[in-house]
Amino acid sequence: MTVHSDEDSPKKAVPGHGRKRERSKRTMCAWVLVVLVPFLLVKLVFFYASPFLLFSPSAQRSEAELMNELEFPTPSGRDEELRTASRNNSKFDVRPDPSSDLPVEEETESTITDPEAPPTEIPEEEVDEKEEVKTEDISPQPPRLNGDEEQLPPEETTAEQEQEEQVVNQEDASKKEESLSVEQVVDDKQPIEQVTSSNASALAPAESQGCNLYDGDWVHDPEGPLYTNRTCFYIQSMQNCMSNGRPDTAYMYWKWKPRHCDLPRFDAKGFLEMFRGKTIGFVGDSLSRNQMQSLLCMLSQLEIPDQIYQSADDKSVRWLFKSYQVTLATVWSPYLLKETTGELKGIEEGQSKLFTDSLDEGWTSVMNDFDVMVLSIGQWYFKPSVYIQNDEVIGCHYCPGLNLTEIGFYHAYKSAVRHVLDKVTKDYKGLAIMSTFALDHFENGSWSNGGSCTREQPLKEGEKLLEGMNYEMHQIVVEEYESTVQRRKRNRKKVQVGLLDVTLLSLLRADGHPGPFRVSHPYDGIEPGTLVQNDCLHWCLPGPVDTWNQFLVELILSNLKK
């Protein structure tokens, strides 16, 4: 007989204990769900929604105000004479073709604004950036080419050419092996020119010796863009053409093809590897920001960046790609010169006063934060301004009512470019890249009098020439750049400056602007035939401005090799 004490005797199952334990488990699971689900939802919403909150309504209104100020009277007085002379004597075809029989479209009287007419600003009410944006679920599809666009067959290759290609390929392979043998370590304290052997091999330079990348054509690209409005969250609302309801997609399916070499498709990983630990700054006006946001979109397909700085007016921002410690920055300085609208030298407050011999400290004070700095200005020089040099008023551009000499804007623009190049070659430690003038494509008018841009394909060769004011603005930058380079070479000093010719790249891309789709669904709720404000200056994203950044990569690589 076994005797059990009270302590070790087997306990009888009490009815209900199992159900209590089951209820306890369920209660615990419920509390876990109550705590975790809201946390996960908040995190998910923040991840997907935060990019759309980056550009606040106030920032969008600021952009609208800037856009409203971009259209100004055409040159008058001495500038009009220069424009007329350049139109008649200085025509410059970006891609000359002696056999071309295409008609040349001459500038008509309807496209020239009366130089005596005052600048017209668009009422702010026309662009209500607070309106709810209708997001279109539009996935870009490859466009069908027109029937009259001939598809050329591939060129036949001779035996001699094949042998030459084999030799070249062998040489390239040996060079690649040499470059890969170098240890892939980058010191983020190195100046940009010291990054050559360590990580420039991540991107293969497209420009071979003697090849001009700008000598090429826009050709159909079946691959399409690297991103869309649904995969990039950093597109300014006024350049988000697909989201704003633009119905055509053909403008996204073109690429620049050089005639004598290749321009590689943009490689986000290669770019970030090359710039590991570096900072790239875009300094200038809203077109400079347009280009920075294009690069931001292309890189964000690989990694989502963090915004690490934002100025109070949202015009200067910085983004960090943490995995690579690469920073993209934009600095607002639409003239690059010092400018004030305060009362000065008897000229009332509100009138722009531009110091043609003094640079804007807003960018010069931070320029050495950047390993590469892209500078671009132009369109803001069409604004009415009073010019000050050596602390004296020397004249103005379009200043009726003031007893000042009309000297036009070419003088101020040339002075700005010259002082900028002098500054960066003397005091800047990185690689400075000067962009040429970014032209617009208004047709049948201008910003303030019904000009539009509704084309769906690029202009054909010879359909638009670089002439008149566009030619003058382009040449000012080119000539000042060449003069700076020659002066540095004569003094046997290192040339740490490059030229990005966005004028030539953009000349035929009249299809790449937002046009009426600068706002969400512009034709909704209006009477047929009503004029809608067009933006024919900035660029849709994705769009032609993405090609600017392809050229930027090649320009940086070519300078690293020097």
Amino acid of residue 332: W
Is 114 a catalytic site residue?
no
Is 538 a catalytic site residue?
yes
- Cβ atoms of 364 and 386 within 8 Å: the answer is no
CA dihedral 163, 165, 167, 173 (to 10 degrees): -150
Q: According to the model, what pLDDT value does residue 30 have?
A: 76
Distance CA 352, CA 342 (A): 8
**Residue 79 exposure: Cα atoms within 13 Å on the Cβ side:** 25
pLDDT band at 170 (very low <50, low <70, confident <90, very high): low
Amino acid of residue 246: R
Instruction: Check whether 479 has a pLDDT greater than 90.
Output: yes
- Cβ atoms of 386 and 346 within 8 Å: the answer is no
Q: How far is CA 370 from CA 146, 375, 552, in A?
A: 45, 12, 15
Instruction: Check whether 560 has a pLDDT greater than 90.
Output: no
Q: Any idea what the Cα angle at residue 104 is, between residues 102 and 106, rounded to 5°?
A: 160
- Cβ atoms of 415 and 406 within 8 Å: the answer is no
Neighbours of 94 (CB within 10 A): 19
Name which of 466, 465, 484, 486 is nearest 475 in CA terms. Answer: 466
- Cβ atoms of 91 and 465 within 8 Å: the answer is yes
Average pLDDT score, the chain: 77
Range 29-34 average pLDDT: 73
Which are the contacts of 248, defined by CB distance < 8 A and separation ≥ 6? 143, 456
Strand order in the sheet with 431-435: 306-310, 317-321, 326-332, 279-284, 372-376, 431-435, 497-500
- Cβ atoms of 258 and 217 within 8 Å: the answer is no
**Residue percentage of the chain with pLDDT more than 90:** 58
Which are the contacts of 305, defined by CB distance < 8 A and separation ≥ 6? 296, 299, 319, 320, 321, 322, 328
Range 220-231 average pLDDT: 97
Range 181-188 average pLDDT: 35
Q: According to the model, what pLDDT value does residue 129 have?
A: 41
- Cβ atoms of 300 and 293 within 8 Å: the answer is no
Of the listed ranges 157-166, 190-199, 369-378, 453-462, the least confidently predicted one is 190-199
Range 402-424 average pLDDT: 97
User: What H or E segment, with its residue span, contains residue 434?
Assistant: strand 431-435
Backbone torsions φ then ψ of 221, nearest 5 degrees? -120, 100
Which runs of E-coded beta strand occur in 226-340?
A: 254-258, 279-284, 306-310, 317-321, 326-332, 337-340
Instruction: Check whether 1 has a pLDDT greater than 80.
Output: no
Distance CA 196, CA 219 (A): 32
**Residue 320 exposure: Cα atoms within 13 Å on the Cβ side:** 9
- Cβ atoms of 417 and 476 within 8 Å: the answer is yes
Per-residue 3-state assignment (H helix, E strand, C coil) for 354-402:
EEEEEECHHHHCCHHHCCEEEEECCHHHHCCEEEEECCEEEEEECCCCC
Task: Provide the 3-class DSSP secondary structure of residue 213.
Answer: coil
DSSP label of 154: P
Q: According to the model, what pLDDT value does residue 363 have?
A: 98
Burial of 499 (0-12, 13-18, 19+ CB in 10 A): middle
Is 535 a catalytic site residue?
yes
Burial of 20 (0-12, 13-18, 19+ CB in 10 A): exposed
Distance CA 195, CA 185 (A): 9
Q: In this structure, what token pair is assigned to residue 481?
A: 């750049």
| Each residue's pLDDT tens digit, 256-277 | 999 999 999 999 999 999 999 9
- Cβ atoms of 555 and 498 within 8 Å: the answer is yes
Instruction: Check whether 49 has a pLDDT greater than 90.
Output: no
Higher-confidence residue: 52 or 152? Answer: 52
Q: How far is CA 101 from CA 104, 217, 223, 462, 552, in A?
A: 9, 17, 31, 9, 33
Distance CA 71, CA 380 (A): 9
Distance CA 28, CA 6 (A): 33
Range 339-355 average pLDDT: 95
Tokens 């420009």: give the residue: 207
Distance CA 194, CA 560 (A): 8
Q: According to the model, what pLDDT value does residue 26 have?
A: 77
Q: According to the model, what pLDDT value does residue 200 have?
A: 34
DSSP label of 309: E
Range 528-541 average pLDDT: 94
| Each residue's pLDDT tens digit, 483-500 | 999 999 998 888 899 999
Distance CA 553, CA 294 (A): 13
Q: What is the DSSP string of 326-352?
A: EEEEEEE-SSSEEEE-S-BTTBPTTS-
pTM to 2 decimals? 0.70
Q: According to the model, what pLDDT value does residue 42 have?
A: 59
pLDDT band at 34 (very low <50, low <70, confident <90, very high): confident
Which of 286, 294, 300, 446 is the catalytic position? Answer: 286
Instruction: Check whether 243 has a pLDDT greater than 50.
Output: yes
Q: According to the model, what pLDDT value does residue 166 have?
A: 55
Q: According to the model, what pLDDT value does residue 17 have?
A: 58
Task: Provide the 3-class DSSP secondary structure of residue 92.
Answer: strand
First to last CA, the chain: 102
Amino acid of residue 105: E
Higher-confidence residue: 308 or 48? Answer: 308
Tokens 């209006």: give the residue: 526
Domain boundaries, the chain: 63-92+199-560
